[in-house]
Amino acid sequence: MSNKNINLTTPYYLIYESKLLKNLKTIDHIKKSCGAKFVLALKCFSAWSVFPLMRKYLDGTTSSSLYEARLGYEKFKKEVHAYSVAYSSREIRQVRRYADKIIFNSISQLLMFRRYAGNTEIGLRVNPGVSFSCFDLANPARRYSRLGVTDRKALFKILPSINGVMFHFNCENSDFENFSSNLDFISRKYADFLKELKWVSFGGGIYFTRGGYPVDKFCKKINEFSKKFSVQVYFEPGEAVITQSAELVTKVLDIIYNGIDIAIVDSSIEAHMLDLLTYRLSAKIKSEDTGRFRYQIAGRSCLAGDVFGTYRFKTRLKIGNILRINDVAGYTMVKKNWFNGLSMPSIVVKRLNGAIDIIRNFKYKDFVNSLS
């Protein structure tokens, strides 16, 4: 459905292709400058309605499960990297139908399932012991991490069986100097190993599309690494591709007072922005630091802590006011759920030509079919 003047019912996720394009052009510049390839991390963003735009700039997709691998194969229709913390034998037989590269998380999984790979290239995730993350929950090199191989000697023994490796060691890292020093550490620690590989992926979690990031320094660093070891470098960005490209549009349903004015909206962090609850973050809602009127913005689920955050506004909020929650593309639509039986937000796209496409409305039937 496409109509510039269509009447939209809240809540809905609104994806802007124009804002998405800005990030994609930065990635395109990096690709042309250093020869790196980029595959979209579907675990972060899987809205295939905008894949036609994204595939013009990206080289494919990377998955964390069988279903994501199939989605990338069927909807993105370019290179597919398939990774999973652990495959079952049933899954690996199906994954090989879709994947150009299968990346195993452990040597034991590689030994069990490499015979099923056929002509598909095989990779292995390596945990270098260094990382960047503001949250221990998301730190891939945290103590007792199960993510990737840590035994350097074991890696050399398995070297003849693999074509490449993945070092996914960043989470929302906008600090180039930190990335650079960690890359230097990896270059020293695995120098002899890296020279024998065809490709190396540095995963995602690097914010090279954030304002002020030294993109040219980043390109120079990657180009030096690629030439030194004669490898094709890959990145698997999620947030870096879609940052600042979408909103969650909600409506104020009620305003109550309990020590503070509380505006209840027709959405929920538990159901529609789960990362806020997981990482105890506040939503990005435009407000005024000097605003006279202070409100807690809360969701309408029964969860007591269903709170988007506290904000100041220049004018009083009223029932029926529209609130726009910014920067919501990542880890929202892929995590939305039916908690409390709340209506899921529609998925809407504003195209480059200004047309509004309602991609998906969720109905009672969808709720029922998600249950037993």
Q: What's 144's DSSP letter?
A: T
CA–CA dist 124, 159 (Å, integer): 10
Q: Is residue 326 predicted with pLDDT exceeding 90? A: yes
Single-letter code of the amino acid located at 246: A
Average pLDDT over residues 128-141: 94
CA–CA dist 73, 51 (Å, integer): 12
pLDDT digits (tens, 9 = 90+) for 238-258: 999 999 999 999 999 999 999
Residue 274 phi, psi (nearest 5): -60, -30
CA-CA-CA-CA torsion sign (293, 294, 298, 302): negative
3-class secondary-structure state, position 25: helix
Q: Which of 4-13, 57-66, 215-224 has the lowest mean pLDDT?
A: 4-13
pLDDT interval class at 290 (50, 70, 90) = confident
Nearest to 6 by CA among 348, 360, 251: 348
Give the E-state strand segments of 202-292 in sequence order. 232-235, 246-257, 261-265, 284-285
CA–CA dist 78, 359 (Å, integer): 22
What is the model's pTM? Answer: 0.94
Q: Do 210 and 243 meet the contact criterion of CB atoms below 8 Å apart?
A: yes
Q: Is residue 99 predicted with pLDDT exceeding 50? A: yes
- The rounded Cα 350 to chain-centroid distance in angstroms is 20
Q: Which helix (H) or strand (E) holds 275?
A: helix 274-279
Q: What is the mean pLDDT of the chain?
A: 96
How far apart, in Å, are the Cα atoms of 59 and each of 31, 101, 144, 260?
10, 13, 33, 49
Per-residue pLDDT, 35 = 97
Average pLDDT over residues 179-196: 96
Question: Residue 141: how many CB atoms within 10 A of its CB?
Answer: 18
3-class secondary-structure state, position 211: coil
Per-residue pLDDT, 196 = 96
Q: Which helix (H) or strand (E) holds 94?
A: helix 89-98
Q: What would the two tokens of residue 354 be?
A: 């200004």
Per-residue pLDDT, 6 = 73
Q: Is residue 165 predicted with pLDDT exceeding 60? A: yes
Q: Do 314 and 328 meet the contact criterion of CB atoms below 8 Å apart?
A: no
**Domains present along the chain, CATH in parentheses:** 17-242 (3.20.20.10), 245-369 (2.40.37.10)
CA–CA dist 48, 34 (Å, integer): 28
Give me the residues paired with residue 257 across strands. 261
Q: Do 148 and 190 meet the contact criterion of CB atoms below 8 Å apart?
A: no
Per-residue pLDDT, 118 = 87
List of residues 6+ apart from 35 with CB closer than 8 A: 223, 226, 232, 233
How far apart, in Å, are the Cα atoms of 192 and each of 106, 141, 163, 231?
20, 22, 15, 13
Q: Is residue 220 predicted with pLDDT exceeding 80? A: yes
Question: Residue 123: how many CB atoms within 10 A of its CB?
Answer: 25
How far apart, in Å, are the Cα atoms of 303 and each of 189, 216, 299, 325, 348?
47, 46, 9, 20, 27
pLDDT interval class at 1 (50, 70, 90) = very low
Q: Is residue 233 predicted with pLDDT exceeding 90? A: yes
Q: Is residue 2 predicted with pLDDT exceeding 50? A: no
Average pLDDT over residues 350-359: 97
Per-residue pLDDT, 3 = 52
Please give the share of the chain, as a percent, with pLDDT higher than 70.
99
Q: What's 75's DSSP letter?
A: I
pLDDT interval class at 145 (50, 70, 90) = very high
